[in-house]
Each structure stands twice: as structure tokens, then as C-alpha cells.
């Protein structure tokens, strides 16, 4: 099979281009941002808001403990990226991401914490704090009671989905066209 060599990561040579800038928060870094936001708005203690899927899954809190599990469950595509801010050295790709986060509140006061979170995310000052994390609230669903049988005991659970948005900027080494080998002939 023929190998395709990588370019010098600019448009001055043929080949693949990768971003020259860093990535925004994804994976565990995004989980940390979401946990911080959910903790601060709901009022749950620090260790009681945790990612739903973890490499080393911790033991579930007791039935008498109030806690929240969350996870990104959807990432609808934005098929309208824009190339902008062209300079001699490169260009930026702008894309607006929207992602859906499922939050499940558990425990004897699960409904109270879920409704506190639902109401708290609608406060402009809380959205301003979310903006400092590079995120913005899109919208949210209502609360859905979803009792769960854990260790042969029914646990109160209340689910909601929150849609968050952010603007992603990636820089690429797409050089501006400074000169072209053109010859004019004729009149």
C-alpha cells in the first residue's frame, strides 16, 4: 500500500493539515468543567457530582445520600464551520458546538436538588459564570422521575437533559496567497 507523507503542516506543501492550536476541553477535562458547574449551581458537595462513565468506577453512594451522575449523551453536528481571520501565517476554523448532557439526581432529596439545579441554570449570573468556563446554556428538559433499583433497593432518581453551547476555534497553517506565477499576454 502506498504511504502518503505528511506535509510540513502548512498549505505550502501537499499533504494533511492538523491544527496548530491546542484543543478545547474534551473528555476528562470537560467532565471536570461540567462537575464544577453542576456542583456550584445545585449545592451538592464536591464528591457528590460525578461523571457517569469513569475508567475506575467508584462505589455507588448509599441510598440515603444525595448525589448526581452526569454524562455527555449527544453531540449534534454543526455543518457550518467558517474559515476566518486569514493572516500570512494561517487561518482559523470556527465551529459552534452544542452538546447534550444527561444529569441524574439521586437520593432522598434528589427532586429538591434537581429542581434547584433546573432553576439555578436559568439565573443570568449563573450563566455568566458558565461563560467564564467557555460554555453557554442552550436549554434544558423538564425533570423526569426515573426510580432505579440499586442493590435490591429502590432509589429516587430524577433525570434532565441540558444542552450547552460553545465556540471552538482551531488554527491551521493555511497560508494566504501572496503571489501567483501568472503571465499576462495579449492586449
Mention every residue, 6+ apart, whose C-beta is less than 8 A from residue 26: none
Rounded Cα–Cα distance for residues 26 and 78 (Å): 17
pLDDT at 104: 97
Q: pLDDT by residue for the chain (187 residues), tens digit each?
A: 556 556 677 777 787 888 888 888 888 899 999 999 999 999 999 899 999 988 888 888 888 999 999 999 998 888 888 888 787 788 888 899 999 999 999 999 999 999 999 999 999 999 999 999 999 999 999 999 989 888 888 889 999 999 999 998 888 888 877 666 777 777 6
User: Is-above-0.75 flag for pTM?
Assistant: yes
Contact, 46 vs 33, CB < 8 A? no
Q: What is the model's pLDDT at position 84?
A: 82
Which pLDDT score is estimated for 6?
61
- CATH number, span 27-54+62-172: 3.30.70
Q: Provide the 10 A C-beta neighbour count for residue 51.
A: 19
pLDDT score at 76: 86
pLDDT value of position 180: 66
- Give the pLDDT confidence score for residue 22 in this predicted structure: 84
Amino acid at each position: 500500500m502506498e504511504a502518503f507523507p505528511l506535509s510540513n503542516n502548512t498549505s505550502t506543501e501537499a499533504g494533511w493539515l492538523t491544527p496548530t492550536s491546542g484543543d478545547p476541553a474534551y473528555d476528562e477535562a470537560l467532565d471536570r468543567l461540567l462537575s464544577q458547574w453542576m456542583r456550584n449551581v445545585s449545592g451538592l458537595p464536591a464528591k457528590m457530582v460525578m461523571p457517569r462513565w469513569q475508567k475506575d468506577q467508584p462505589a455507588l453512594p448509599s441510598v440515603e445520600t444525595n448525589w448526581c451522575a452526569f454524562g455527555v449523551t449527544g453531540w449534534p453536528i454543526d455543518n457550518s464551520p467558517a474559515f476566518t481571520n486569514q493572516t500570512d501565517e494561517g487561518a482559523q476554523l470556527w465551529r459552534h458546538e452544542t452538546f447534550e448532557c444527561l444529569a441524574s439526581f439521586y437520593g432522598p432529596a434528589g427532586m429538591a436538588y434537581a429542581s434547584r439545579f433546573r432553576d439555578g441554570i436559568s439565573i443570568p449570573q449563573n450563566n455568566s459564570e458558565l461563560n467564564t468556563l467557555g460554555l453557554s446554556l442552550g436549554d434544558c428538559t423538564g425533570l423526569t422521575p426515573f426510580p432505579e433499583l440499586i442493590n435490591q433497593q429502590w432509589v429516587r432518581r430524577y433525570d434532565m437533559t441540558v444542552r450547552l453551547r460553545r465556540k471552538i476555534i482551531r488554527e491551521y497553517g493555511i497560508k494566504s496567497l501572496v503571489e501567483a506565477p501568472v503571465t499576462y499576454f495579449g492586449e
